[in-house]
Amino acid sequence: MADKLTRIGQTVLLLFAILGLRLTQLQVVRGERYARLSDRNRIRRILLPAPRGRIFDRNGILIADSRPSFTVTVIPTELPDSALPVLAGLLAIQPDDLKRQLEPVARVPGPVPLRRDVDLTTVARIEENNFRLPGVLIRVDPVRNYPKGWRYCHVVGHLGEISEEELKADSSYRRLDYVGRAGIEARYEKRLRGRDGYQYAEVDARGRAIGPLPEKRPEPAVPGCDLHLTLDDRLQNLASRLVAGYERAAVVGMEIRTGAILCLVSQPGFDPNIFISPIDAATWDAIVSNPSKPFYNRAVTSTYPPGSTLKPIVALAALRQRLVSPRTTLDPCVGKVRYGNRDFKCWSVHGRVNLLEAIAQSCNVYFYQLGLRLGLDSLTAYCRSVGLGARTGIDLPAEGEGNIPDRRWLDVRYGKGKWTSGVVLNFAIGQGEITVTPLQLCLAYAAIAGDGVCGHPHIVARIDSAGRTVPRSAYPVRELKLDQNDLKQVRLAMTRVVEHGTGRAARLGEITIAGKTGTAQNPPRPDHAWFVGYAPADAPEVVFAVIVENAGHGGTVAAPIVAKLVRAWSAARAGIDTSEPASESLFGQPATESLSSSRSRQP
């Protein structure tokens, strides 16, 4: 019996002896080394920053990558107060500001980034003075670089320094980290970011690593995913240049079948690179105080009255209700129509026209009458059914919603019974409170051009992680139940718009464009110029929507822009045809086939 108790005692003794041996090993055998490590804690966790994922256009042209930059970091517990003025002087800031900056991190044991993207001169001066600056270290970090500058500033977006609130919300970020602030950079922040790694090192008295720590294996950084966009750099470039001369404008181009966005431009823009280096106050003020709000992505965020670009949709609504046939003529246009005690004007005197000609010539009087026959409810319901007044769900943040003012909305806005049925006249020509985003309009036209079927609009085509494509569910297809015959008639009308109507400026020799002009009133300022067009007219593949704010007539200002974009699109398609016959096509299907099929297919 007592034997077993002795055994228990012996077991305890054995376990304690193991502890004693281990203590001896740590404190005697390795004691000197650990004493050295603990002296000013010369063991350090070194951050291995994950490079942010790169962004490419559909042809592999680089849009965003990372470049090395110098970061000044400080180990607050090792920086003596006496070194503060020296450091502040070298960084060209006030010592008090520096002190304030260091206060919240005073007890952090590791190196804390103090200033990012420091120029080489400053780095050299800090290195020269490093004997006076214990605890100050220079680190090389990857930072964002946009080689294309302004061209993608809205769609790809830009980065910004993380805010205190965001830091609190997500502890995996650190002070001075950059996060996506707009566009793809914000929407795909999690994918692009990657995961920082750590390396453990023994450092000398000046904080320089003298060797890895054998006790702890490094955790390598995981680079962010690379994004391959649907955008075509050639079209993006051209679109940016075409609207560069205007104060405010937006362009969206989309492949009908896939929903791939080919170009998305908003004017004015800014250089996204300026947010990486410490930004100077003058540049910042210039951007923020610009009344045109350069940060605004007008193509997806801004909402405008669609103007006459709404007419094909109103026509479809009327055709569906069998209120008119394509050849029906209504009361002749004498330049205006009287409703209630108000004159509703047309931009010209069109005489007696049928529905097709009313679209081609953009006759307001015809559409006033059509609006009255349709009534407010049918009109708004149809607009909604083609996706107007609702977010499209594109993979971009801050998408605008627009407004399709129905009975309920008008009751709230003006009070029950305080508005007249006359509003429907204005809505029928796309004026008044009815507003849409350029992207919504582009998508509605894609549905019309694509026999009611078009792809879900998207910017990111593929996400690659470490060279391998990340599998993800395919984008859904948008399918609207539209009458094929009605669509054919309205498309015929839109072909006539370009052939001999208001959109003649969009005429191209080699490829037929169809579309609709729009001139949205914007009192008291000049009108907005719209043109939404698709091509080829007989077998549509792409849609472009262009709005130029306060520029006047859609037919004269916006239509030529679309024509040039379609020509560039066609050239790009043909170009790939000859240069890379065997490779994967740019536009989803083998280019040769698509060309021939577009010629042979009859509408």
Reference 403, options 430, 433, 427, 375; nearest CA is 433
Q: d(Cα 386, Cα 391) in Å, to the nearest integer? A: 12
Tell me how far, at minimum, the Cβ of 413 lies from another protein, in Å: 47
What is the rounded distance in angstroms from the CA atom of residue 254 to the CA atom of residue 263?
7
Q: Which of 258, 252, 271 is nearest to 399 (CA)?
A: 252
Catalytic residue among 266, 308, 362, 570: 308
Please, what is the minimum distance in Å from the beta carbon of residue 52 to another protein? 22
Distance CA 65, CA 562 (A): 31
Contact call for residue 5 and another protein (CB under 8 A):
yes
Cα-flanking dihedrals φ and ψ of residue 256, to 5°? -70, -50
Nearer to another protein, 95 or 218 (CB): 218
Residue with tokens 């919504």: 440
Scan residues 277-316 and list those touching another protein (CB under 8 A).
none
- Under rule CB under 8 A, residue 106 binds another protein: no
Is there binding between residue 216 and another protein (CB under 8 A)? yes
8 A C-beta contact, residue 36 and residue 78:
no
Minimum CB distance to another protein, residue 25 (Å):
9
Q: How far from chain centre, in Å, is Cα 205? A: 47
CA-nearest of 477, 479, 472 to 457 is 477
Between 137 and 184, whose beta carbon lies closer to another protein?
A: 137
The one-letter code for the residue type at 376 is L
Closest CA to 153 of 4, 298, 364: 298
Query: What one-letter code names the amino acid at 81?
Result: D
Whichever of 111 and 272 has its CB closer to another protein, that residue is 111
Binding mask 66-85 for another protein (x = CB under 8 A): -----------x--------
SS3 (DSSP) at 337 = strand
Beta carbon of residue 215, minimum distance to another protein (angstroms, whole number): 5
| In the complex, least distance from residue 191 CB atom to another protein, rounded to whole angstroms | 16
Q: Which of residues 24-53 bind another protein (CB under 8 A)?
A: 24, 26-28, 30-35, 37-39, 41, 43, 45
Task: Please identify which residue in 20, 147, 476, 581 interacts with another protein, judged by CB under 8 A.
Answer: 20
Q: How far is the CB of 175 from another protein (least distance, A)?
A: 17
> For another protein, what does the binding mask look like between residues 573 and 592, x meaning CB under 8 A?
--------------------
Alpha carbons 459 and 228: distance in angstroms, whole number: 9
Residue 120 binds to another protein (criterion: CB under 8 A): no
Q: Which of the 8 DSSP states describes residue 505?
A: G
> Considering only 23-31, 89-97, 332-340, 394-402, which stretch makes contact with another protein by CB under 8 A?
23-31
Measure the CA–CA gap between 367 and 428, rounded to whole angstroms: 6
Q: Figure out which of the listed residues 18, 124, 288, 477 binds another protein, where binding follows CB under 8 A.
A: 18
Does position 195 interact with another protein (CB under 8 A)? The reply is: no
State yes or no: residue 16 binds another protein (CB under 8 A).
yes
Among 22, 208, 345, 488, binds another protein (CB under 8 A): 22
Instruction: Give the strand pairing for 55-56 and 226-229.
Output: parallel
Nearer to another protein, 29 or 140 (CB): 29
Closest separation between CB of residue 168 and another protein, Å?
18
Task: Pick the binder of another protein from 15, 205, 279, 470 (CB under 8 A).
Answer: 15
x-marked contacts with another protein along 390-419 as a string, rule CB under 8 A? ------------------------------
Indicate the residue among 193 and 311 with the shorter CB distance to another protein.
Answer: 193
Q: Which stretch binds another protein (CB under 8 A): 214-222, 277-285, 295-303, 472-480?
A: 214-222
Is 190 a binding residue for another protein by CB under 8 A? The answer is no
Handedness of CA 169, 172, 178, 184 (dihedral sign): negative
Applying CB under 8 A, among 92, 107, 415, 474 the residue interacting with another protein is 107
**Which listed range, 12-20, 266-274, 314-322, 529-537, lies at the site for another protein (CB under 8 A)?**
12-20
Q: CB of residue 217 vs another protein: minimum separation in angstroms? A: 8
Q: Is the peptide bond before 581 cis (omega within 30 degrees of 0)?
A: no
For residues 444 and 313, what is the distance between their CA atoms, to the nearest angstrom? 8
Which two tokens mark 180?
Answer: 């996506």
Q: Closest approach of Cβ 102 to another protein, in Å?
A: 16
Work out how close the CB of 4 gets to another protein at its nearest, in angstroms, rounded to a whole number. Answer: 6
**Whole-number Å distance between alpha carbons of 81 and 92:** 17
Of 38 and 583, nearer to another protein (C-beta) is 38
Q: Tell me how far apart the alpha carbons of residues 537 and 602 are, in angstroms, rounded to a whole number.
A: 10
Complex with another protein: residue 6 or 600, whichever CB lies closer: 6
Cα torsion angle, 492, 493, 494, 498, sign: positive
**Distance of closest approach, residue 476 Cβ to another protein, in angstroms:** 25
* Gap between the Cα atoms of 533 and 492, Å rounded: 13
Counting contacts by CB under 8 A, is residue 219 touching another protein? yes
The answer to whether residue 308 is catalytic is yes
Site for another protein in 487-506 (CB under 8 A): none
Among 80, 85, 104, 109, binds another protein (CB under 8 A): 109
488: which 2 tokens? Answer: 């054919």
Q: What does R_g of the chain's alpha carbons equal in angstroms?
A: 32
Applying CB under 8 A, the site for another protein has a residue count of: 40
Q: Name 376's Cβ contacts closer than 8 Å, sequence gap at least 6.
A: 406, 407, 410, 421, 423, 424, 427
Neighbours of 366 (CB within 10 A): 31
Instruction: Look at residue 146 and give its three-state secondary structure.
Output: coil
Measure CA 577 to chain center: 29
User: Which residue number, 200 or 409, has a Cβ lying nearer to another protein?
Assistant: 200
Q: Which residues are catalytic?
A: 308
Please report, as ranges, the residues that interact with another protein according to CB under 8 A: 2, 4-5, 7-9, 12-13, 15-16, 18-20, 22-24, 26-28, 30-35, 37-39, 41, 43, 45, 77, 107, 109, 200, 213, 215-217, 219
